[in-house]
Structure 1
Amino acid sequence: MAAAPITSAIFGATGLVGAHIVTSLLSLDAFGTVHTITRRTPKQASDAALSKKLDAIVEKDTEQWVPKLNEVLKADPKAALPAVFSALGTTRVAAGGIANQWKIDHDLNVEIARAAKAAGVKTFVFVSSAGTRSLAARWLPYSKMKNGVEDTIKELDFEQTIILQPGLILGDREVEHQGAGAFKALVKGVGSVSKSWHDSLGQEAEVIGRAATHAALLASQGKAPSKYWIVDTAAIIKLGRDEWKF
Protein backbone atom coordinates (compact mmCIF):
# COMPACT_ATOMS: atom_id res chain seq x y z
CA MET A 1 0.00 0.00 0.00
CA ALA A 2 1.43 3.34 -1.04
CA ALA A 3 2.16 5.89 1.65
CA ALA A 4 -0.15 8.89 1.86
CA PRO A 5 1.28 12.08 0.38
CA ILE A 6 3.11 14.32 2.83
CA THR A 7 1.51 17.67 3.55
CA SER A 8 4.02 20.48 3.93
CA ALA A 9 4.25 24.17 4.70
CA ILE A 10 7.13 26.38 3.69
CA PHE A 11 8.32 29.81 4.73
CA GLY A 12 10.66 31.85 2.54
CA ALA A 13 8.93 30.40 -0.49
CA THR A 14 9.60 33.41 -2.72
CA GLY A 15 13.29 33.55 -1.87
CA LEU A 16 16.10 32.08 -3.94
CA VAL A 17 16.32 28.71 -2.16
CA GLY A 18 12.74 28.61 -0.94
CA ALA A 19 11.33 28.92 -4.45
CA HIS A 20 13.30 25.85 -5.51
CA ILE A 21 12.07 23.91 -2.48
CA VAL A 22 8.49 24.71 -3.49
CA THR A 23 9.06 23.59 -7.06
CA SER A 24 10.69 20.36 -5.90
CA LEU A 25 7.87 19.59 -3.45
CA LEU A 26 5.22 20.25 -6.08
CA SER A 27 6.98 18.02 -8.62
CA LEU A 28 7.10 14.89 -6.43
CA ASP A 29 4.13 12.56 -5.94
CA ALA A 30 5.34 11.76 -2.42
CA PHE A 31 4.30 15.26 -1.36
CA GLY A 32 0.70 16.38 -1.33
CA THR A 33 -0.57 19.88 -0.65
CA VAL A 34 2.17 22.49 -0.30
CA HIS A 35 1.14 25.48 1.79
CA THR A 36 3.15 28.67 1.36
CA ILE A 37 2.82 31.73 3.58
CA THR A 38 4.40 34.74 1.93
CA ARG A 39 4.16 38.49 1.39
CA ARG A 40 3.56 38.02 -2.32
CA THR A 41 2.23 35.23 -4.50
CA PRO A 42 4.81 32.55 -5.40
CA LYS A 43 5.65 32.27 -9.06
CA GLN A 44 4.49 28.63 -9.11
CA ALA A 45 0.89 29.82 -8.72
CA SER A 46 0.91 30.85 -12.39
CA ASP A 47 2.12 27.43 -13.56
CA ALA A 48 -0.85 25.21 -14.36
CA ALA A 49 1.12 22.01 -13.85
CA LEU A 50 2.58 23.00 -10.49
CA SER A 51 -0.26 25.00 -8.97
CA LYS A 52 -2.61 22.02 -8.58
CA LYS A 53 -1.08 21.12 -5.21
CA LEU A 54 -0.19 24.65 -4.15
CA ASP A 55 -2.08 26.51 -1.43
CA ALA A 56 -0.57 29.99 -1.64
CA ILE A 57 -1.47 32.10 1.39
CA VAL A 58 -0.52 35.74 0.89
CA GLU A 59 -0.14 37.75 4.08
CA LYS A 60 1.92 40.94 4.06
CA ASP A 61 2.00 41.19 7.85
CA THR A 62 4.68 38.77 9.06
CA GLU A 63 3.22 38.91 12.57
CA GLN A 64 0.27 36.96 11.16
CA TRP A 65 2.37 34.18 9.67
CA VAL A 66 2.44 31.95 12.75
CA PRO A 67 -1.35 32.25 13.26
CA LYS A 68 -1.76 31.35 9.57
CA LEU A 69 0.48 28.30 10.07
CA ASN A 70 -1.65 27.22 13.02
CA GLU A 71 -4.77 27.50 10.86
CA VAL A 72 -3.18 25.34 8.18
CA LEU A 73 -2.08 22.64 10.61
CA LYS A 74 -5.41 22.54 12.45
CA ALA A 75 -7.30 22.23 9.16
CA ASP A 76 -5.60 18.94 8.30
CA PRO A 77 -4.45 17.32 11.57
CA LYS A 78 -4.36 13.81 10.09
CA ALA A 79 -2.02 14.68 7.22
CA ALA A 80 0.71 12.09 6.76
CA LEU A 81 3.96 13.17 8.42
CA PRO A 82 3.38 16.91 8.13
CA ALA A 83 6.63 18.73 7.40
CA VAL A 84 7.50 22.39 7.80
CA PHE A 85 10.35 23.96 5.85
CA SER A 86 11.94 27.34 6.53
CA ALA A 87 14.27 29.00 4.08
CA LEU A 88 13.30 32.34 5.56
CA GLY A 89 15.93 35.06 5.67
CA THR A 90 16.70 38.61 4.67
CA THR A 91 19.68 40.94 4.64
CA ARG A 92 20.68 43.80 6.91
CA VAL A 93 20.25 46.29 4.06
CA ALA A 94 16.85 44.98 2.97
CA ALA A 95 15.59 44.86 6.54
CA GLY A 96 16.86 48.31 7.39
CA GLY A 97 19.41 47.31 10.00
CA ILE A 98 20.58 44.44 12.18
CA ALA A 99 17.73 44.79 14.68
CA ASN A 100 15.11 44.35 11.96
CA GLN A 101 17.04 41.53 10.32
CA TRP A 102 17.17 39.75 13.69
CA LYS A 103 13.36 39.91 13.89
CA ILE A 104 13.10 37.94 10.64
CA ASP A 105 16.16 35.70 10.53
CA HIS A 106 16.04 34.75 14.20
CA ASP A 107 12.83 35.68 15.98
CA LEU A 108 10.33 34.73 13.27
CA ASN A 109 12.12 31.46 12.51
CA VAL A 110 12.06 30.58 16.22
CA GLU A 111 8.33 31.39 16.42
CA ILE A 112 7.64 29.21 13.38
CA ALA A 113 9.59 26.29 14.84
CA ARG A 114 7.85 26.55 18.21
CA ALA A 115 4.43 26.72 16.59
CA ALA A 116 5.23 23.69 14.45
CA LYS A 117 6.32 21.69 17.48
CA ALA A 118 3.24 22.69 19.47
CA ALA A 119 1.03 21.58 16.57
CA GLY A 120 2.62 18.15 16.40
CA VAL A 121 4.67 18.60 13.24
CA LYS A 122 7.04 15.64 12.92
CA THR A 123 9.67 16.97 10.53
CA PHE A 124 11.23 20.44 10.58
CA VAL A 125 13.66 21.52 7.87
CA PHE A 126 15.72 24.68 8.28
CA VAL A 127 18.08 26.23 5.74
CA SER A 128 20.94 27.65 7.79
CA SER A 129 24.50 28.40 6.71
CA ALA A 130 27.94 26.80 6.78
CA GLY A 131 30.77 28.08 8.94
CA THR A 132 28.71 29.98 11.50
CA ARG A 133 30.29 28.18 14.45
CA SER A 134 33.92 28.72 13.50
CA LEU A 135 36.09 30.73 15.90
CA ALA A 136 36.33 33.53 13.35
CA ALA A 137 32.62 33.74 12.58
CA ARG A 138 30.63 32.73 15.65
CA TRP A 139 30.58 36.26 17.10
CA LEU A 140 29.18 37.87 13.96
CA PRO A 141 25.51 38.94 14.12
CA TYR A 142 24.61 36.77 11.13
CA SER A 143 26.16 33.70 12.76
CA LYS A 144 24.44 34.40 16.07
CA MET A 145 21.07 34.50 14.26
CA LYS A 146 21.59 31.19 12.48
CA ASN A 147 23.10 29.44 15.50
CA GLY A 148 20.32 30.68 17.75
CA VAL A 149 17.67 29.23 15.46
CA GLU A 150 19.55 25.93 15.12
CA ASP A 151 19.91 25.63 18.90
CA THR A 152 16.22 26.33 19.48
CA ILE A 153 15.15 23.76 16.89
CA LYS A 154 17.40 21.16 18.50
CA GLU A 155 15.95 21.89 21.95
CA LEU A 156 12.41 21.50 20.59
CA ASP A 157 13.25 17.86 19.81
CA PHE A 158 11.21 17.16 16.68
CA GLU A 159 10.87 13.54 15.63
CA GLN A 160 13.07 14.56 12.70
CA THR A 161 15.14 17.72 12.35
CA ILE A 162 17.02 18.53 9.15
CA ILE A 163 19.45 21.45 9.12
CA LEU A 164 20.97 22.40 5.76
CA GLN A 165 24.25 24.29 5.93
CA PRO A 166 25.09 25.52 2.42
CA GLY A 167 28.10 27.62 1.56
CA LEU A 168 27.69 30.55 -0.82
CA ILE A 169 24.26 30.25 -2.42
CA LEU A 170 24.59 30.58 -6.18
CA GLY A 171 21.81 31.81 -8.43
CA ASP A 172 20.15 34.99 -9.63
CA ARG A 173 18.44 37.00 -6.89
CA GLU A 174 16.01 39.83 -7.50
CA VAL A 175 18.19 41.94 -5.20
CA GLU A 176 21.77 40.73 -4.84
CA HIS A 177 23.46 40.69 -1.44
CA GLN A 178 26.17 43.29 -0.95
CA GLY A 179 29.52 41.93 -2.09
CA ALA A 180 28.04 38.65 -3.28
CA GLY A 181 28.95 39.31 -6.91
CA ALA A 182 32.66 39.26 -6.16
CA PHE A 183 32.38 36.05 -4.17
CA LYS A 184 30.36 34.37 -6.91
CA ALA A 185 32.98 35.38 -9.47
CA LEU A 186 35.64 33.85 -7.21
CA VAL A 187 33.70 30.59 -6.88
CA LYS A 188 33.21 30.47 -10.64
CA GLY A 189 36.92 30.98 -11.15
CA VAL A 190 37.74 28.23 -8.66
CA GLY A 191 35.27 25.96 -10.45
CA SER A 192 37.24 26.29 -13.67
CA VAL A 193 40.20 24.78 -11.84
CA SER A 194 38.49 22.20 -9.62
CA LYS A 195 34.85 21.06 -9.55
CA SER A 196 35.24 19.74 -5.99
CA TRP A 197 36.56 23.10 -4.77
CA HIS A 198 33.62 24.81 -6.43
CA ASP A 199 31.15 22.42 -4.80
CA SER A 200 32.64 22.95 -1.36
CA LEU A 201 32.53 26.76 -1.60
CA GLY A 202 29.17 27.37 -3.25
CA GLN A 203 26.07 25.45 -4.25
CA GLU A 204 23.35 26.32 -6.73
CA ALA A 205 20.06 27.33 -5.12
CA GLU A 206 18.25 24.68 -7.17
CA VAL A 207 20.55 21.98 -5.78
CA ILE A 208 20.02 23.21 -2.21
CA GLY A 209 16.25 23.22 -2.70
CA ARG A 210 16.29 19.71 -4.07
CA ALA A 211 18.54 18.54 -1.24
CA ALA A 212 16.06 19.87 1.34
CA THR A 213 13.21 18.04 -0.38
CA HIS A 214 15.20 14.83 -0.84
CA ALA A 215 16.28 14.83 2.81
CA ALA A 216 12.68 15.26 3.99
CA LEU A 217 11.58 12.40 1.74
CA LEU A 218 14.30 10.10 3.08
CA ALA A 219 13.30 11.03 6.63
CA SER A 220 9.67 10.09 5.90
CA GLN A 221 10.94 6.68 4.77
CA GLY A 222 12.95 6.16 7.94
CA LYS A 223 16.23 6.59 6.06
CA ALA A 224 17.63 9.69 7.77
CA PRO A 225 21.08 8.95 9.26
CA SER A 226 20.15 10.60 12.56
CA LYS A 227 17.28 12.30 14.36
CA TYR A 228 19.12 15.62 14.18
CA TRP A 229 20.53 15.58 10.66
CA ILE A 230 23.07 18.19 9.60
CA VAL A 231 23.18 18.31 5.80
CA ASP A 232 26.54 19.90 5.03
CA THR A 233 27.85 21.13 1.68
CA ALA A 234 28.96 17.66 0.56
CA ALA A 235 25.60 16.14 1.46
CA ILE A 236 23.78 18.97 -0.32
CA ILE A 237 25.63 18.14 -3.54
CA LYS A 238 24.96 14.43 -3.05
CA LEU A 239 21.24 14.75 -2.31
CA GLY A 240 20.41 17.66 -4.56
CA ARG A 241 22.47 16.85 -7.62
CA ASP A 242 24.24 13.49 -7.72
CA GLU A 243 21.34 11.42 -6.34
CA TRP A 244 18.47 13.59 -7.59
CA LYS A 245 16.84 11.21 -10.08
CA PHE A 246 13.14 11.84 -9.55
Structure 2
Amino acid sequence: MSSPTAAIIGSTGLVGAHILSTCLSESSPWSKITTISRRNPKSTGPKLNAVVESDTTKWSSTLSSLTPTPSVVFSALGTTRAQAGGIANQWKIDHDLNVDLVQASKAAGVKHFVFISSAGTRGMLSNRVPYSKMKIGVEDAIIEAGFETAVIVRPGMIFGAREPGKEHTGMPFLQGVIKGAGKIFGQGVTDAVGQEADVIARAAVAAARIAEEGEAPSTVWILEQPDIVKLGRTEWTE
Protein backbone atom coordinates (compact mmCIF):
# COMPACT_ATOMS: atom_id res chain seq x y z
CA MET A 1 0.00 0.00 0.00
CA SER A 2 1.44 3.39 -0.97
CA SER A 3 2.13 6.03 1.67
CA PRO A 4 -0.47 8.77 2.08
CA THR A 5 0.13 12.27 0.74
CA ALA A 6 -0.90 15.69 2.03
CA ALA A 7 -1.70 19.13 0.66
CA ILE A 8 -1.24 22.47 2.39
CA ILE A 9 -3.00 25.72 1.59
CA GLY A 10 -1.53 28.82 3.20
CA SER A 11 2.00 27.42 3.34
CA THR A 12 3.62 30.85 3.03
CA GLY A 13 1.85 32.26 6.10
CA LEU A 14 3.04 32.21 9.70
CA VAL A 15 1.35 28.98 10.84
CA GLY A 16 1.23 27.37 7.40
CA ALA A 17 4.99 27.67 6.95
CA HIS A 18 5.51 25.75 10.19
CA ILE A 19 2.97 23.11 9.13
CA LEU A 20 4.94 22.64 5.93
CA SER A 21 8.36 22.38 7.58
CA THR A 22 6.94 19.88 10.09
CA CYS A 23 5.31 17.75 7.38
CA LEU A 24 8.55 17.70 5.37
CA SER A 25 10.46 16.02 8.20
CA GLU A 26 11.54 12.44 7.64
CA SER A 27 9.37 11.26 10.52
CA SER A 28 6.10 12.55 9.05
CA PRO A 29 3.80 9.86 7.58
CA TRP A 30 3.28 11.64 4.24
CA SER A 31 5.40 10.68 1.26
CA LYS A 32 4.59 13.84 -0.72
CA ILE A 33 3.51 17.29 0.37
CA THR A 34 1.84 19.50 -2.23
CA THR A 35 1.49 23.21 -1.58
CA ILE A 36 -0.72 25.54 -3.61
CA SER A 37 0.24 29.18 -3.22
CA ARG A 38 0.88 32.45 -5.04
CA ARG A 39 4.62 32.21 -4.40
CA ASN A 40 7.09 29.52 -3.50
CA PRO A 41 7.23 28.54 0.15
CA LYS A 42 10.48 29.01 2.04
CA SER A 43 10.89 25.37 3.01
CA THR A 44 12.28 22.87 0.53
CA GLY A 45 12.83 19.14 0.50
CA PRO A 46 12.51 15.96 -1.56
CA LYS A 47 8.91 15.46 -0.45
CA LEU A 48 7.78 18.90 -1.61
CA ASN A 49 5.66 19.48 -4.71
CA ALA A 50 5.19 23.26 -4.79
CA VAL A 51 2.45 24.46 -7.13
CA VAL A 52 2.63 28.22 -7.73
CA GLU A 53 -0.59 29.73 -9.07
CA SER A 54 -1.20 33.47 -8.85
CA ASP A 55 -4.89 33.10 -9.71
CA THR A 56 -6.58 31.92 -6.51
CA THR A 57 -9.78 31.09 -8.41
CA LYS A 58 -7.88 28.13 -9.88
CA TRP A 59 -6.78 26.70 -6.54
CA SER A 60 -9.85 24.52 -6.01
CA SER A 61 -9.57 22.89 -9.43
CA THR A 62 -5.84 22.43 -8.89
CA LEU A 63 -6.51 20.71 -5.59
CA SER A 64 -9.16 18.48 -7.15
CA SER A 65 -6.78 17.32 -9.88
CA LEU A 66 -3.89 16.25 -7.62
CA THR A 67 -2.74 12.68 -8.18
CA PRO A 68 -2.78 10.78 -5.96
CA THR A 69 -5.59 12.41 -4.01
CA PRO A 70 -4.20 13.79 -0.73
CA SER A 71 -5.27 11.87 2.32
CA VAL A 72 -5.27 15.09 4.33
CA VAL A 73 -5.58 18.77 3.43
CA PHE A 74 -4.37 21.46 5.80
CA SER A 75 -5.73 24.98 5.41
CA ALA A 76 -3.94 27.78 7.24
CA LEU A 77 -5.22 30.22 4.65
CA GLY A 78 -6.06 33.67 5.89
CA THR A 79 -5.32 37.35 5.54
CA THR A 80 -6.11 40.60 7.31
CA ARG A 81 -8.50 43.37 6.37
CA ALA A 82 -5.57 45.74 5.78
CA GLN A 83 -3.64 43.31 3.58
CA ALA A 84 -6.74 42.42 1.57
CA GLY A 85 -7.79 46.01 1.07
CA GLY A 86 -11.08 45.89 2.94
CA ILE A 87 -13.50 43.51 4.59
CA ALA A 88 -15.12 42.45 1.31
CA ASN A 89 -11.81 41.30 -0.13
CA GLN A 90 -10.85 39.61 3.12
CA TRP A 91 -14.14 37.68 3.01
CA LYS A 92 -13.27 36.38 -0.46
CA ILE A 93 -10.08 34.80 0.91
CA ASP A 94 -10.84 33.88 4.50
CA HIS A 95 -14.34 32.59 3.80
CA ASP A 96 -15.18 32.05 0.13
CA LEU A 97 -11.87 30.54 -1.00
CA ASN A 98 -11.63 28.32 2.07
CA VAL A 99 -15.18 27.03 1.54
CA ASP A 100 -14.39 26.33 -2.13
CA LEU A 101 -11.31 24.37 -1.06
CA VAL A 102 -13.33 22.39 1.49
CA GLN A 103 -15.87 21.41 -1.16
CA ALA A 104 -13.15 20.56 -3.69
CA SER A 105 -11.38 18.39 -1.12
CA LYS A 106 -14.53 16.47 -0.29
CA ALA A 107 -15.41 15.96 -3.95
CA ALA A 108 -11.89 14.67 -4.66
CA GLY A 109 -12.12 12.06 -1.88
CA VAL A 110 -9.89 13.66 0.76
CA LYS A 111 -10.36 11.81 4.05
CA HIS A 112 -9.17 14.36 6.60
CA PHE A 113 -9.37 18.17 6.61
CA VAL A 114 -7.48 20.33 9.10
CA PHE A 115 -8.42 24.01 9.42
CA ILE A 116 -6.67 26.72 11.42
CA SER A 117 -9.56 28.71 12.83
CA SER A 118 -9.55 31.04 15.84
CA ALA A 119 -10.53 30.99 19.49
CA GLY A 120 -13.72 32.77 20.48
CA THR A 121 -15.48 32.37 17.14
CA ARG A 122 -18.55 30.94 18.86
CA GLY A 123 -18.79 33.63 21.54
CA MET A 124 -21.87 35.67 22.41
CA LEU A 125 -21.04 38.47 19.97
CA SER A 126 -19.56 36.30 17.22
CA ASN A 127 -22.46 36.87 14.82
CA ARG A 128 -21.73 40.59 14.89
CA VAL A 129 -17.98 40.32 14.25
CA PRO A 130 -17.05 39.86 10.56
CA TYR A 131 -13.85 37.92 11.35
CA SER A 132 -15.73 35.45 13.53
CA LYS A 133 -18.48 35.10 10.94
CA MET A 134 -15.86 34.13 8.34
CA LYS A 135 -14.39 31.45 10.59
CA ILE A 136 -17.82 30.13 11.60
CA GLY A 137 -18.82 29.84 7.94
CA VAL A 138 -15.74 27.78 7.11
CA GLU A 139 -16.07 25.61 10.21
CA ASP A 140 -19.70 24.88 9.35
CA ALA A 141 -18.78 24.00 5.76
CA ILE A 142 -16.13 21.55 6.99
CA ILE A 143 -18.50 19.91 9.43
CA GLU A 144 -21.30 19.66 6.87
CA ALA A 145 -18.94 18.16 4.26
CA GLY A 146 -18.73 14.93 6.25
CA PHE A 147 -15.01 14.16 6.13
CA GLU A 148 -13.78 11.02 7.82
CA THR A 149 -12.10 13.43 10.24
CA ALA A 150 -12.58 17.19 10.45
CA VAL A 151 -9.98 18.86 12.67
CA ILE A 152 -10.69 22.46 13.64
CA VAL A 153 -7.81 24.18 15.43
CA ARG A 154 -8.74 27.26 17.48
CA PRO A 155 -5.63 29.08 18.69
CA GLY A 156 -5.71 32.32 20.63
CA MET A 157 -3.31 35.10 19.73
CA ILE A 158 -0.68 33.70 17.36
CA PHE A 159 2.84 34.49 18.54
CA GLY A 160 5.67 34.64 16.04
CA ALA A 161 7.64 36.91 13.75
CA ARG A 162 5.68 37.84 10.65
CA GLU A 163 7.23 38.98 7.40
CA PRO A 164 7.85 42.73 6.98
CA GLY A 165 4.66 44.49 5.98
CA LYS A 166 2.44 41.75 7.40
CA GLU A 167 2.69 42.61 11.09
CA HIS A 168 -0.49 43.51 12.94
CA THR A 169 -0.31 47.03 14.36
CA GLY A 170 1.05 46.96 17.89
CA MET A 171 1.37 43.17 17.88
CA PRO A 172 5.13 42.89 18.60
CA PHE A 173 4.73 45.13 21.66
CA LEU A 174 1.67 43.24 22.88
CA GLN A 175 3.40 39.88 22.41
CA GLY A 176 6.32 41.16 24.44
CA VAL A 177 4.05 42.20 27.28
CA ILE A 178 2.20 38.87 27.35
CA LYS A 179 5.37 36.80 27.18
CA GLY A 180 6.92 38.95 29.89
CA ALA A 181 3.91 38.29 32.11
CA GLY A 182 4.36 34.58 31.43
CA LYS A 183 7.96 34.69 32.63
CA ILE A 184 6.90 36.37 35.85
CA PHE A 185 3.66 34.56 36.65
CA GLY A 186 4.17 31.28 34.80
CA GLN A 187 3.77 29.87 31.29
CA GLY A 188 0.08 29.25 31.92
CA VAL A 189 -0.57 32.98 31.75
CA THR A 190 0.83 33.14 28.23
CA ASP A 191 -0.87 29.91 27.17
CA ALA A 192 -4.25 31.28 28.22
CA VAL A 193 -3.86 34.17 25.77
CA GLY A 194 -2.11 32.67 22.76
CA GLN A 195 0.30 30.10 21.35
CA GLU A 196 3.48 30.14 19.30
CA ALA A 197 2.97 29.53 15.59
CA ASP A 198 5.19 26.43 15.63
CA VAL A 199 3.22 24.93 18.53
CA ILE A 200 -0.06 25.50 16.67
CA ALA A 201 1.41 23.90 13.56
CA ARG A 202 2.70 20.87 15.44
CA ALA A 203 -0.70 20.40 17.08
CA ALA A 204 -2.36 20.44 13.65
CA VAL A 205 0.13 17.91 12.29
CA ALA A 206 -0.15 15.69 15.38
CA ALA A 207 -3.94 15.66 15.05
CA ALA A 208 -3.65 14.76 11.37
CA ARG A 209 -1.28 11.90 12.17
CA ILE A 210 -3.70 10.60 14.80
CA ALA A 211 -6.53 10.84 12.28
CA GLU A 212 -4.47 8.94 9.69
CA GLU A 213 -4.03 6.17 12.25
CA GLY A 214 -7.77 6.01 12.83
CA GLU A 215 -7.41 7.15 16.42
CA ALA A 216 -9.17 10.54 16.32
CA PRO A 217 -11.56 10.88 19.29
CA SER A 218 -14.44 11.98 17.02
CA THR A 219 -15.26 12.70 13.39
CA VAL A 220 -15.32 16.42 14.25
CA TRP A 221 -12.34 17.13 16.47
CA ILE A 222 -12.09 20.64 17.95
CA LEU A 223 -8.69 21.65 19.33
CA GLU A 224 -9.07 24.51 21.79
CA GLN A 225 -6.07 26.31 23.27
CA PRO A 226 -5.26 23.74 26.01
CA ASP A 227 -5.43 20.95 23.39
CA ILE A 228 -3.03 22.87 21.15
CA VAL A 229 -0.51 23.22 23.98
CA LYS A 230 -0.89 19.54 24.84
CA LEU A 231 -0.46 18.16 21.32
CA GLY A 232 1.95 20.79 20.02
CA ARG A 233 4.30 21.12 22.97
CA THR A 234 3.70 18.94 26.02
CA GLU A 235 3.22 15.62 24.18
CA TRP A 236 4.94 16.49 20.91
CA THR A 237 7.48 13.98 19.58
CA GLU A 238 9.11 13.95 16.17
> Residue in 2 aligned with 1:62?
56
> Residue in 1 aligned with 2:10?
12
| Number of residue equivalences | 234
Amino acid at match of 1:164: V
Contact 2:64–2:107, Cα closer than 8 Å, also in 1: no
Q: Could you say what the CA RMSD is over the residues aligned between the two structures, in angstroms?
A: 1.3
The within-5 A match list for 1:20-31 is 20-27=18-25, 28-31=27-30
- Of 170, 177, 181, which residue of structure 2 is paired with 1:190? 181
**Superposition deviation, residue 137 in structure 1:** 3.8
**Superposition deviation, residue 168 in structure 1:** 0.4
> Residue in 1 aligned with 2:134?
145
Contact 1:12–1:87, Cα closer than 8 Å, also in 2: yes
- Of 204, 221, 239, which residue of structure 1 is paired with 2:231? 239
| 2: CA distance, partners of 1:123 / 1:29 | 16
Contact 1:90–1:101, Cα closer than 8 Å, also in 2: yes
| Change beyond 3 A, Cα 1:179–1:132 | farther
Contact 1:167–1:203, Cα closer than 8 Å, also in 2: yes
**Superposition deviation, residue 4 in structure 1:** 4.3
| 2: CA distance, partners of 1:186 / 1:83 | 37
> Residue in 2 aligned with 1:204?
196
**Superposition deviation, residue 179 in structure 1:** 3.4
Amino acid at match of 1:39: R
**Superposition deviation, residue 93 in structure 1:** 0.3
> Helix, strand or coil: the match of 1:236?
helix
1:67-97 deviation line (CA, Å, top 9, x unaligned) = 111121xx214x6xx1011000000000000
| 1: CA distance, partners of 2:167 / 2:15 | 13
| 1: CA distance, partners of 2:208 / 2:2 | 14
Contact 1:5–1:29, Cα closer than 8 Å, also in 2: no
> Residue in 2 aligned with 1:48?
none
| 1: CA distance, partners of 2:124 / 2:173 | 24
| Change beyond 3 A, Cα 1:240–1:59 | same
- Of 78, 81, 84, which residue of structure 2 is paired with 1:95? 84
| 2: CA distance, partners of 1:149 / 1:182 | 31
**Superposition deviation, residue 194 in structure 1:** 2.1
| 1: CA distance, partners of 2:141 / 2:169 | 28
Query: Which runs of 5 or more structure 1 residues have no equivalent in the other structure?
Result: 46-50
> Helix, strand or coil: the match of 1:152?
helix
1:146-181 deviation line (CA, Å, top 9, x unaligned) = 011001111111110000000000000012013323
Q: When the two structures are superposed, what TM-score results if normalisation uses the length of structure 1? A: 0.92
